[in-house]
Amino acid sequence: MAERPRRVVAERDGPLLVEGPVEVVLDDGRVVCGDRFLVALCTCRRSRRFPWCDTSHRRRARADGPAADAAPEGER
């Protein structure tokens, strides 16, 4: 039985979800490995764990309204 292609899911305003394990070659030539069955790759460059998503993209201001962090308590 033929192996199906590896699936990559692009989240709107979020990470790329890649079926693992993966090796990522960074722009400085370092290679990092992710061995989970699903790996979230940061596309916003805000992650403190880049290239892995740490959910920092959720703090990003939205073009259609204020950032979620700016909303008063109880309005989230």
Q: Which chain residues interact with ligand FES by CB under 6 A?
A: 14-15, 42-44, 46-47, 53-57
User: Residue type at 16?
Assistant: L
SS3 state at 31: strand
Question: Which of 19/56 has CB closer to ligand FES?
Answer: 56
Residues in contact with 61: Cβ distance below 8 Å, sequence separation at least 6, in sequence order:
67, 70
Name the token pair of 4.
Answer: 């199906």
Min dist. Cβ of residue 34 to ligand FES (A): 14
Name the token pair of 29.
Answer: 């030539």
Question: Which of 24/43 has CB closer to ligand FES?
Answer: 43
Min dist. Cβ of residue 12 to ligand FES (A): 11
Min dist. Cβ of residue 74 to ligand FES (A): 26
